[in-house]
Amino acid sequence: MKRRPTDLVGAHVSSQGGVARAPARGVEVGASAIQVFTKTPSQWREPRLSAAQAAAFREALAASGVAAVVSHDSYLINLASPQAALRRRSMRCFTGELRRCRALGIPWVVSHPGNYIDDRATGLARNTRAYAECLAAVPGAVGVLIEGTAGAGTALGATFEELRALRDAMPVAVRDRVAFCLDTAHLHAAGYDVAGNVEAVWEEFARVVGLPLLKCLHLNDSRAPRGSRRDRHQWIGEGTIGPEAFRRIMRDVRLRDVIKIIETPKGDDPVRHDRRMLRRLRAYARASGPSALAVRMT
């Protein structure tokens, strides 16, 4: 029998035909971790998730051997919006996502901070308040991983200071259910030196936010230059970040227990491209030379 991977490396996989099909798709590409949509991300329509559907997903996940799963919320959500109607609709949608994940046994929802539109500080306060209200409405263990953004337009969350501020302003009762996801392409676009000195990026995150709060990484190369504020994903090692940063990430013992998800282009053959990206990342982890970067952060 083929040995299953023991790392936490995987891909965003399709849930077309029902979310219970996602774990098998993860196995097909060689993933030990997966990210899924629990609803169509470009539509407001909220699906009805039956107890049988939730049980089928849990059973499929357990049988697959996939070790970790996160969801990603809808692209339409803007919890920082100054428009009250849009913010309320976004909160209903995000609350629905939390409820589905609770039923499915998915521990984390990856969520982009919103676009403030009018005033940054006011928008950040709206975003924080909305996250807190949604979490309070869905008690339990499921939490949110606030994802750092590329910083285009009025998007919040492109700096570590802003990510920390989003969490710090939440009530203590829900703050423990909030952590972070970082995307290498977003960091690069926001101006962090992922390509030249990725260790310094982690050091800064550890100092400003705290490395234990980093629960997920999206590993994507970029087609855009550093500091461009443009979110343009590319295959690992074939973009403006290049291979060395990903080699270092894959060998870094501090990041061993962080879920690592690729969102690289799937082209005309998603299974083939995801497989080759995951093989490439695992080859980086096994490559000759120092097996790990042993410096630890507090």
Residue pLDDT, tens place only, 32-84:
999 999 999 999 999 999 999 999 999 999 999 999 999 999 999 999 999 99
| Phi, psi angles (nearest 5°) of residue 266 | -100, -10
First to last CA, the chain: 40
Helices and strands, counts by H and E, the chain: 10, 10
Buried b or exposed e, range 180-199, using 16+ CB within 10 angstroms: bbbbbbbbbbbebbbbeebb
pTM for the model stands at: 0.94
Per DSSP, what are the bridge partners of residue 71?
36, 109
Sorted by where each begins, the domain ranges of the chain are: 9-286
Are 292 and 251 in contact, with CB atoms under 8 Å apart?
A: yes
Output the six-digit token pair for 49.
Answer: 């998730």
Cα 72 to the center of its chain, rounded Å: 7
Burial per residue of 260-279, b for 16 or more beta-carbon CB atoms within 10 angstroms, e otherwise: bbbbbbbeeebeebbbbbbe
The answer to whether 30 touches 277, Cβ cutoff 8 Å, is: no
CB 247 within 8 A of CB 290: no
- What gap in Å lies between CA 147 and CA 201, rounded to an integer? 15
- pLDDT tens for 137-167 read 999 999 999 999 999 999 999 999 999 999 9
> How many whole angstroms separate alpha carbon 219 and alpha carbon 68?
16
Instruction: State the average pLDDT over residues 239-263.
Output: 98
pLDDT above 90 (res 294): no
CA-nearest of 147, 221, 237, 216 to 188 is 221
The b/e string for 124-159 (b: 16+ C-beta within 10 A; e otherwise) is bbbbbbbbbbbbeebeeebbbbbbbbbbeeebbbbb
CA 139 to CA 132: how far, in whole Å? 11
Distance, in Å, from the CA atom of 111 to the CA atom of 119, rounded to the nearest integer, reads 21
Q: At 65, which amino acid appears?
A: G
Q: Which of 4-13, 111-120, 256-265 has the lowest mean pLDDT?
A: 4-13
pLDDT, residue 3, reads 59
What are 162-208's pLDDT values in tens digits? 999 999 999 999 999 999 999 999 999 999 999 999 999 999 999 99
Residue 288: pLDDT band by 50, 70, 90 thresholds?
Answer: low
Q: State the chain's mean pLDDT as an integer.
A: 95
pLDDT of residue 292: 43
Is the model more confident about 6 or about 60?
A: 60
**CATH superfamily for domain 9-286:** Divalent-metal-dependent TIM barrel enzymes (3.20.20.150)
Q: Report the 10 Å Cβ neighbour count for 14.
A: 14
How many other C-beta atoms lie within 10 A of the C-beta of residue 170? 20
What are the C-alpha distances in Å from 57 to residues 10, 106, 230, 236? 18, 10, 35, 30
Residue 6 confidence (pLDDT): 79
By the 8 A CB rule, do 221 and 264 touch? yes
Specify the residue for token string 């990041």. 255
